[in-house]
Amino acid sequence: MSKTPEKGEGEQNTTGLFPLFPTQANSVSAISSAPQWLRNASFTTDLSVIDAAPSTAPSLPDVEASEEEEEGYAYRNNTEANQPRVYDLVEEEEGSESDDDDKAKKKKKKQKRDSDEYYTKPTKDYYLDTRPDPDNLAYGSIYRMNVPRYKLDNSQRGSESGSTKLYLRNRRGSMLEAEIDVNSLDGKAKSDNRYWYAKNAAMERNKNFRRIRLSASREAVDSSFDHFIPLEEGEAVQESEEEDVESKESVVGTSWEDEVLNKTREFNRQTRERPHDEKAWLAFADFQDKVSSMQSQKGVRLQTLEKKISILEKAFELNPDSEELLLALLKAYRSRDSADVLISRWEKALMQNSSSYKLWREFLRVVQGEFSRFKVSEVRKMYSYAIQALFSACSKRHRQMDATSEPLDSALIQQELVLVDMLVSLCRFEWQAGYRELATALFQAEMEYSIFSPSLLLSEQSKLRLFEHFWSSNGARVGEEGAFGWSLWLEKEEEHRQKMLKEESSDDNDVGGWTGWTEQLSDRKEDSIIASANIGEGDVNRDREGLDEEMEDENGMPEDDTEAMLKLLGIDVDAAASDEVKDTSTWVKWFEEEVSRDQNQWMPTRKAGELSSVDEMGEREDEEQLSSLVLYEDINGYLFSLRSNEARLSLVYQFVDFFGANISPWTSSNSLWWIEKINSLETLSDSMLEILRNVHECLSKSDSANGFSLGSLLGSNSDISMRTEMMKFLRNAILLCLNVFPRNYILEEAVLVAEELFVTNMKTCEVATTPCQALAKRLLKSDRQDLLLCGVYAQREAASGNMKQARRIFDMALTSICGLPKELQDNSPLLYLWYAESEVANSSGSSRETESSSRAMHILCYLGSGLAYVPYTSQPSSMQILRARQGFREKLKKIQSLWSHGVTDDQSAALVCSAALFEELTNDLSGAVEILEHMFSSVLPGRRSQSHQLEILFNYYVRMLQRHQDDLTLSKLWNPISEGMQLYPLSPELYQALIDICNHRMTSHRLRMMFDDYSRKTPSVVVWLFALSYELSRGGSLHRIRGLFERALAQDTLNSSVILWRCYIAYEIDIAHNPSAARRIYFRAINACPWSKKLWLDGFGKLSTVLTAKEMSDLQEVMRDKELNIRTDIYEILLLQG
């Protein structure tokens, strides 16, 4: 404690709390009579120190002096606050006011004087701080001159810069703030003054404003560090030169116009030196978009767009074979040209590049999204052109190659794969437009034509004529009861024809009796067989005329009777469309009936009056039967032959996935099929719903907020009746395909799952056995050597909870491996892995976990050692474990050499998973992680991203880390996931793991930043679905969720995503409860996606409270104009109501 000097002891050197100015020797000491809270050193500083400041600091202006006087006056008033107020008489003000105003003012002043005289305010010992100052807590008292708050404004680093200069300049700038002419720089600055002053905002928007890049100067390295290693002389000189350049630039500063000039100069140099560098040209064009975003005037933006187009035209002229440059050029044309001009440019480009799948895919997306030109028939015709052009390219390449060469060229296989993708896109378009029977028929026709075609050396035209005979007959097709394929049907037809000919010849040889009727009958049969084998256009036309006549005869009701009936019901036929239905409830009933018919009517009929055998959903009207009739002329323009097994399998897999069966991953998430499927989703698939449901449960456990699941917004995918019939249809189709692709475990698993769903939906009561048991036993009876079928069936038993039955099946299959051929024994790693994973998944509780782990180690020991399998009796010994580890090590070396050459298959991936699981069970997690990372490093990243086996292996790696996430640090968990996001950015499993791991270890803000980053790098529906699911499950704010929807739909590739639009509408209706906003979003949605009938129907189902009957009637008329398939007429609903 320092002692207080007395008055006679000399002067005390007192400094202020903030020593901005040097203090003098004659400073005034603290007033002892002041209260305790005013004894701060800052209040003892004499104001004369400001006058005695150095000459380098400029003096304050008169306005600042007046402010200090006001502060001192306020300070003096604080000491006199306890005394009652005394007011003097107010003198009359001079002015030019009217007499009425003077009287009103005098009256108010008199009332105030009277109230002060009779109601004197009591004295107070306390005061309320209505505008709290945080400095009171920081310094313990009020600082007399206050602490200046300022922001750097035009700060220059110089010798005269200092705290005093910043303080004075900022105070002077704040006083002159209102006098700045904002319009002198930019007129937009007026409206953006919430977070920035108008002057600063205007300066920031000024393109000539030079910005200084501040960078910390590199300090000298302390020589006391012994481990310091100096740079070489050349590197040091180069770095010093770079620092000098940076220091000069930071002093001078660069404006936006300077940056544009420098970037343009750099791009010109790159494109001049490397004219065939596509990336340089594309970067130059993308830079023009950045320049355009900084322009406020529309004319300047159009000039920038013209510059971008000229850049891309020059680039494409130098690189005429570049698809990327052509796509970028056509996208730039879309921002400038009208729809007709744009379509003509696309057609010209496609004529020159007819074999490009990317161009056709983008062109079809443009045609579908152009609302003013959209019609279903036009888009269907464009799909026909695309399929014919791609098939023509495949045929041309096949003719150039040797027809008998095996295996086929990889380029030809790739062309056939994209051809299948194009057909599936057409089927998806037809399904979403309401033509579900046509979509189903297209799948049936192509599978019959490519997979079950007869082995005859026919030309394409002869094959089509022969297929026309099959399609026009009454033979069962793929998926229908009794179907056995086009090839077998043709054989049976030929056998039947030969049999009929023999019978007729035997009848002709008989003697006696009149045989005229027999001859006429045989002639009639012969003529029918010949006519059926050579169907022409005349026959088809006669069939059509006959169908039309039947329709007219059956539905031909007299017009007078119809009008009379409608008048009796109170319906005026001559009234306008807006006057027919005046109640929205009628349109709601129409919507319900239309949805019901859409769900039930998806199978094509054969001819009028006859239904396909699988479609037994009740009697229909004749018009409905005719609308579901698919003739040969409706499908002949989309048929093509497939020569590669890869393309045929792709067609079958996509067929199974299209109709909603659960199928194991068979392609990478980076494939074109997966990208196209995700971008064209209307509803969530079962697998995606399951993943999003797991995410919601994970977030609901950790967050007490009442959130919503994203899957609940769109409701159920389909009703039970439709699901049941569709699973039956799939079961029949897959069983037929197994005859062509035997021992395919992916199809075998799909058919067992379809059988389970079919049997479960058919039976209301629970059954003791697994629903697919009968079908699995029947398949195993036909092929007892199918080991993978045994494994798939055992997995279904384990999933149903019958672990004892699953173990019995697994043990039976593994013990019989030794007596099988070598090619069947190669599938044993899959069987061992499935068995071990089933045991690990069955573990729950301490005792069961120990037994299941022992069983899993026992199984994997026999796989590693290569010994004949023996069922589990006891825990494996240390010698068995050592022998198995050595065996795994040798097998992994062989696999590594194969993977380094790009050869990956399911068996090798299963063996690597088994080795990692073995290390996890016997040693620890580090050994398993080391094996997986070592195997991944042996494959190039390009091959790794396109292999679905390696993606499955990586997902297995992530699941293993999730099981041990409580024992691992964030870095060990985050690094693999970050690497996986770069390789497989569209994998839903990785996003599920990301949320699961980061939810407990990161703040929500950081996880949101990750989603934002991924959405910018790789924009896709998957990223936005998980970002939205995260916010909905946590009960995020309305503004955040709406912002996510708007940012997602603002992206060019996602503006046509039906599922995002539907989720947005459902969110506004069900969660935000904002029907008016949902109405606006709905009209935006149908303008962006006019082909989606389900999206159109959402307006009738979800927006019935905000749409009028007139608007609903207009919507239906527009749907008819766009040629969407409408199955229900509004008059049917009116008749039912009447």
Range among 246-255, 517-526, 603-612, 1114-1123 rated most confident: 1114-1123
What's the confidence (pLDDT) of residue 67?
Answer: 44
Q: At residue 811, does pLDDT exceed 90?
A: yes
- 922-960: per-residue pLDDT in tens? 988 999 999 999 999 999 888 889 899 999 999 999 999
CA 927 to chain centre: 35
How many C-alpha atoms does 666 have within 13 Å on its Cβ side? Answer: 21
- Please give the C-alpha separations between residue 972 and each of 337, 395, 961, 982, 1067, in angstroms, as whole numbers: 52, 51, 9, 17, 37
Determine the Cα–Cα distance for residues 742 and 730; give it in Å rounded to an integer.
17
Average pLDDT over residues 570-579: 45
| Residue corresponding to tokens 């036909």 | 782
Determine the Cα–Cα distance for residues 867 and 889; give it in Å rounded to an integer.
16
Q: At residue 5, does pLDDT exceed 90?
A: no
Residues, the chain: 1138
Least confident of 82-91, 308-317, 748-757: 82-91
- 751-778: per-residue pLDDT in tens? 999 999 998 876 655 556 788 999 999 9
- 686-709: per-residue pLDDT in tens? 889 999 999 998 888 766 556 688
Tokens of 778: 């029947």
What's the confidence (pLDDT) of residue 542?
Answer: 46
Whether the Cβ atoms of residue 1022 and residue 988 lie closer than 8 Å to each other: yes
What's the confidence (pLDDT) of residue 505?
Answer: 74
Average pLDDT over all residues of the chain: 78
What's the confidence (pLDDT) of residue 8?
Answer: 41
Least confident of 122-126, 395-399, 439-443, 582-586: 122-126
- Whole-structure pTM value: 0.76
- 991-1036: per-residue pLDDT in tens? 999 999 988 888 888 899 999 999 998 899 999 999 999 999 888 8
Determine the Cα–Cα distance for residues 425 and 1016; give it in Å rounded to an integer.
26
Average pLDDT over residues 446-464: 91
Beta bridge partners of 610: 607
Determine the Cα–Cα distance for residues 630 and 612; give it in Å rounded to an integer.
12
Least confident of 103-107, 817-821, 927-931, 1115-1119: 103-107
Q: At residue 565, does pLDDT exceed 50?
A: no
Average pLDDT over residues 87-116: 53
Average pLDDT over residues 167-190: 40
Average pLDDT over residues 1080-1091: 95
Q: At residue 342, does pLDDT exceed 90?
A: yes
pLDDT band per the 50, 70, 90 thresholds, residue 288 = very high
CA geometry: angle at 478 spanning 473 and 479, to 5°?
A: 120
What's the confidence (pLDDT) of residue 581?
Answer: 77
Q: At residue 358, does pLDDT exceed 60?
A: yes
Q: Residues 6 or more apart from 641 whose CB is under 8 A from it?
A: 449, 450, 453, 460, 463
Least confident of 115-129, 475-489, 777-791: 115-129
Average pLDDT over residues 302-314: 94
First to last CA, the chain: 101
- Please give the C-alpha separations between residue 90 and each of 96, 105, 106, 108, 1025, in angstroms, as whole numbers: 18, 11, 10, 12, 71
What's the confidence (pLDDT) of residue 525?
Answer: 39
Determine the Cα–Cα distance for residues 56 and 75; give it in Å rounded to an integer.
30
Q: At residue 385, does pLDDT exceed 80?
A: yes
Q: At residue 407, does pLDDT exceed 80?
A: no
Average pLDDT over residues 563-583: 51
Q: At residue 1084, does pLDDT exceed 60?
A: yes
What's the confidence (pLDDT) of residue 208?
Answer: 73
What's the confidence (pLDDT) of residue 999?
Answer: 85
For CA atoms 331, 333, 336, 341, the dihedral sign is negative
Average pLDDT over residues 657-662: 90
Q: At residue 107, does pLDDT exceed 80?
A: no
Beta bridge partners of 629: 605
DSSP 1063: H
Helix then strand then coil, % of the chain, to nearest 5: 65, 0, 35
What's the confidence (pLDDT) of residue 437?
Answer: 95
Q: Residues 6 or more apart from 993 whose CB is under 8 A from it?
A: 958, 959, 961, 962, 977
What's the confidence (pLDDT) of residue 653?
Answer: 96
Examine residue 871 and say whether the peptide bond preceding it is cis (omega within 30 degrees of 0): no
Q: At residue 387, does pLDDT exceed 70?
A: yes
Which is more confident, 233 or 893? 893
- The percentage of the chain sitting over the pLDDT mark of 90, rounded to a whole number, equals 51
- Per CATH, the number for 257-443 is 1.25.40
Least confident of 154-158, 255-259, 272-276, 445-449: 154-158
What's the confidence (pLDDT) of residue 1024?
Answer: 95
Crossing angle (nearest 10°) for helices 1021-1033 and 686-702: 40
Which is more confident, 719 or 663? 663
Least confident of 120-134, 236-250, 739-753: 236-250
Using DSSP's 3-state secondary structure scheme, residue 605 falls into: strand
Beta bridge partners of 211: 254
Domain ranges of the chain: 1-82+101-155+167-172, 257-443, 845-963
